[in-house]
Amino acid sequence: MAIVPHARAPIHTPTPAFSGRRWPSRVYPGDLAQAAWVRSDLAADLARLADLPKETTENIVLCASEMFANACDHSRSGQDPEGRVIRTLHMPDAATLHLAIIDDGTRVGACATRPEIPRRRTLEEWAEAERGRGLLLIHHLATAWGTRSVLDFPFCSGLGTVTWAEFTLPGLTARKAVR
């Protein structure tokens, strides 16, 4: 007799209606000139979703472009000639799309800061500002967004930031989500 009894495995394991969808991660040079490539690749990936409204696709692509630009402008991704930016894309469920941009970390000579919407601007300063609206666009177009460190260890701070955004996809069902 065995000390630990063997539990019988079920003959049939039911699968969930939607088990998620993940696209391959894409790696880009940390150069703002590559933003068109980022937009084009993302639009092609989103075209694989059946019945995704054009406006939703455009909003997601705009947010990715802004996130990519921030990674190039504010991290080592754009400072180092070998800098890279990674884009991930997945659907944790049939109605949610999760987009993330991962940068190479804090710029040399800069203090580690997390991306955030400028809050201390007057209306006049907002009207004259040439920059600082990207995260505000993401805030209004995405269902949720945020940032986190690539690695959550105190001695690893500055190694990279993940900026993510989630989008609720209108009109998609589990059957229509993947072609």
Q: Which of 133, 163, 161, 168 is nearest to 60 (CA)?
A: 168
Q: What is the mean pLDDT of residues 49-64?
A: 94
Tens digits of per-residue pLDDT, 106-144?
766 555 555 555 556 565 654 555 555 677 889 889 999
Binned at pLDDT 50, 70 and 90, residue 64 comes out as: very high
Burial of 130 (0-12, 13-18, 19+ CB in 10 A): exposed
Inter-residue contact 107 to 79 (CB < 8 Å): yes
**pTM for the model:** 0.74
| Percent composition of the chain: helix, strand, coil (DSSP 3-state, to 5) | 35, 20, 45
Residue type, 157: S
Task: Give the pairing of strands 96-102 and 26-29.
Answer: unpaired
Furthest CA-CA distance within the chain: 81
Tens digits of per-residue pLDDT, 39-50?
999 999 999 998
Residue 160 backbone zone (phi > 0: left; psi -120 to 50: alpha; other: beta): left
pLDDT at 2 over 50: no
The CA distance from 144 to 147, in Å, is 11
Angle at 78 between CA 75 and CA 84, to 5 degrees: 90
Q: Which of 168, 169, 148 is nearest to 159 (CA)?
A: 148
- Residue 44 vs residue 15, higher pLDDT: 44
Q: What is the mean pLDDT of residues 23-51?
A: 94
Burial of 21 (0-12, 13-18, 19+ CB in 10 A): middle
